[in-house]
Structure 1
Amino acid sequence: MPLVELSRLAGTVFLAVTLVVVGDTCGKLLTQAGVAPFVVAWSRFAIGALALLPLARFSWGDLIVLKDWRVLLRAVFITGGICSILTALKTEPIANVFGAFFIGPIISYILAIIFLKERPTPLHSLLLGLGFLGVLLVVKPGFGMSTGTLFAILAGIFYGCYLFMTKLLAGAMRASVLLVSQLIIGTLLLTPIGLNSPLPPNDTVLWLLIVASALGSAGGNYLLVVANRMADASLVAPLVYTQLISATLLGILVFDDWPDPIALAGLSFIALSGLGSLALKRS
């Protein structure tokens, strides 16, 4: 890919992942204010579905995808991932949560080898190993891992399974249909829990944060669909690691959460893994 097009792609992906982090920053503010993570997740799916339905050109005929068990399972994985990451964000710094969350690509990599018989190159495996080392430095297993960190890891596992299911469905359905279908299914799954959970008080700021959280996440995911139209998914995926930059900066600016030296080293390893994968794809 020419450098100009790659720069445009990188800018689109960075804006996309930054919007996702903005949505999660609003989610963290909400959960710290006492709003249940499931309520935040429910509102995110519901508002996101309403916002993206017109853009995705989702028709009644597209509802047939909801009968596909692969589509349903994929939506269950992303629903579990979002509920888990919002629970983690309630107590943990944003950068650390996203660092642990990036165990997802490694899970997807292992599942692809087992079920799709993929045979990645040794260098690709080495780069993913570097990323895994980074995750270990962030989560610090065996050194008093918090409950929030465990939820962040669980979110990453869910996300890895979601990535694998997305790869399984690649080419079979439009990306926009898959995006809207996961929002519809997520809304339906969480509605019973959302309705039975305490809603925010009549506070304008909290409701604005709910809308911002949902629109940030929806906008980010829609731009990722746009990015995948601009280039092959294998080229887009490593660029998603730039999310760590946004997560670290917003964590510092909004919550004054500075990663400790070990976590910062881990985040650096994860970022290097992503950049190395990008260079490998270009070569």
Structure 2
Amino acid sequence: MIKALFIMLIAMSFIPAGDAASKVMTSELGVAPVYVVWTRFVIGALILLPFTWRAGLCVLWDWRVWFRASLVAGGISCITQAIKFAPLADVFGAFFIAPMISFVLSVWLLKERARLVQALLVVLGFVGVLLIVRPGFETSQGLGWAVIAGCFYGTFLTASRWLAGQVAIGGLMLTQMVGPTLLITPFVLGNFPQITPQIAGLTLVSGACSMAGNVLMLFAYRMQEASKLAPFVYFQLLSAVVLGWAIFGDLPSALTLLGMGVIVVAGSAVAMFQSRRPIALGTERA
């Protein structure tokens, strides 16, 4: 558990860094979000191709890997759109509906065992998300996109666990990058910016950090159940707050900070109960 947790925390630090680079391009340099999304996957595919092309060929006709690829394509597209309109920390706070979606789907569809207290803490975490999003009151366009991104990503997390023991990790990594590239290519045509050294550098940071975070996440999910690792995705919040303040000068509002605090407390409490005997909320996996 400790090794998987360490890998997961590193992975969850890379992802906000990539999104911070994306925000600079979309909100300050006027780069189209679809270009940012497309290049993230292209860079990841080019880095992975020499090492994983054989494994990728083996799963070329497996519909499950393309379904999973479409989920990550939707998630990255939505969150890139979200960070264009809203502060980075607020977006990540709303995005944290993802581990709750993953927890529920892992117990329901994958038949993983979970403790009753975990379920209650997931509900508490959802309350934290509501404090950040405040539906019907102060919801912005960016936060709406962030919630949709979280739904995509939570499903993607569960799909990763579903396939981790059945499909070679090289095949998962490569199709995770190539699939979205193919899906998004028709939409990026005509949306390429003038490439300056600044945009080129930010593009590279965005793509490399995204790829590293998702690859490390795959290794973590091969080592531990999704329902146990999902709470530690909350670690992205700290990175998002620090990067948002350091780069953009954005500080979360009092209610947003309260919501983040609730999410962190709920996620940390789940970790404390990992060693206790579970109450089955679903039957064991076969």
Q: Same fold (TM over 0.5)?
A: yes
CA drift of 1:74 comes to 1.0
> Which residue of structure 2 aligns with residue 14 of structure 1?
9
- Which deviates the most, 106-115 or 165-174? 106-115
User: Any gaps of 5 or more consecutive residues in structure 2?
Assistant: 277-286
Q: Kindly indicate whether residue 218 of structure 2 is the aligned counterpart of residue 210 of structure 1.
A: no
Matches of 1:81 and 1:98 in 2, distance apart?
Answer: 12
Paired amino acid for 1:104? A
Mark the CA change 1:15 to 1:38 in structure 2 (over 3 Å): closer, same or farther: same
For 1:12 and 1:122, the matched residues in 2 are separated by: 26
What per-residue deviation string (whole Å, max 9, x for no partner) do you get for residues 200-241 of structure 1?
A: 213110111011100111122222234445655554333221
In the other structure, the counterpart of 2:187 is 193
Alpha-carbon spacing, 1:231–1:117, altered in 2? closer, same or farther (3 Å):
closer
**More off after superposition, 155-164 vs 63-72:** 63-72
Alignment of 1:41-56 (within 5 A): 41-54=37-50
Q: Residue 69 of structure 2 corresponds to which residue in structure 1?
A: 75
| 2:144 maps to 1:150 | yes
Higher deviation after alignment, 97-106 or 60-69: 60-69
Cα 1:172/1:203, change in 2 over 3 Å: same
Candidates 250, 254, 257, aligned match of 1:261: 254
Q: What RMSD, in angstroms, separates the aligned Cα atoms of the two structures?
A: 2.0
Whole-angstrom CA distance in 2 between matches of 1:79 and 1:122: 33
Amino acid in the other structure paired with 1:174: A
Q: Which amino acid aligns with 1:14?
A: L
Query: Is contact 1:131-1:270 (8 Å) kept?
Result: yes
When normalised by structure 1's length, the TM-score is 0.89
Q: Which amino acid aligns with 1:76?
A: S
Aligned residue type for 1:170: A
Aligned to 2:119: 125
Matched residue, 1:23: 18
Deviates more, 1:161-170 or 1:239-248: 161-170
Distance change >3 Å, CA 277–CA 69, structure 1 → 2: same
What is the 5 A alignment of 1:31-46? 31-32=26-27, 33-46=29-42
* Structure 1 residue 24, shift from structure 2 partner: 0.4
Give the number of equivalent residue pairs: 275
- Tell me, in whole angstroms, the C-alpha distance in 2 between the residues paired with 1:174 and 1:231: 16
Maintained 8 Å contact 2:160/2:221: no
Distance 1:174 1:279, change over 3 A: farther
Paired AA for residue 215 in structure 1: A
Q: Specify whether residues 105 and 14 from structure 1 end up closer, same or farther in structure 2 by C-alpha distance, changes over 3 A only.
A: closer
> Within 1, Cα distance between the matches of 2:170 and 2:88?
28
| 1:234–1:157 CA distance, 2 compared to 1 (3 A) | closer
Structure 1 contact 37–86 (Cα < 8 Å) conserved: yes
Matched-pair contact (CA < 8 Å) for 2:99–2:233: no
Q: Could you list the runs of 5+ residues in structure 1 that have no partner in the other structure?
A: none
Aligned twin of 2:169? 175
Q: Could you give the per-residue CA deviations for residues 53-89 of structure 1, whole angstroms, max 9, x where no partner exists? A: 34xx313353232322221111111101000000000
Q: Percent identity?
A: 42
Are the structure 2 counterparts of residues 185 and 11 from structure 1 closer, same or farther at C-alpha, using a change threshold of 3 Å? same
Q: Which residue, 273, 277, 280 being the options, matches 2:273?
A: 280
Residue 220 of structure 2 corresponds to residue 224 of structure 1 = no
**Equivalents in 2 of 1:166, 1:178: separation in Å?**
8
Q: Counterparts of 1:174 and 1:68 in 2: how far apart (Å)?
A: 12
Q: Is the Cα–Cα contact under 8 Å of residues 251 and 257 in structure 1 kept in the other structure?
A: yes
Conservation of the 8 A alpha-carbon contact between 2:40 and 2:207: yes
The answer on whether the counterparts of 2:106 and 2:226 sit within 8 Å (CA) in structure 1 is no
How many angstroms does 1:115 deviate by? 3.5
* Kept after mapping to 2: 8 A contact 1:234/1:281: no
* 8 Å CA contact 1:23, 1:214 repeated in 2: yes
CA shift for structure 1 position 173: 1.2
Residue 163 of structure 1 corresponds to which residue in structure 2? 157
* CA distance in structure 2 between the partners assigned to 1:236 and 1:18 by the alignment: 15
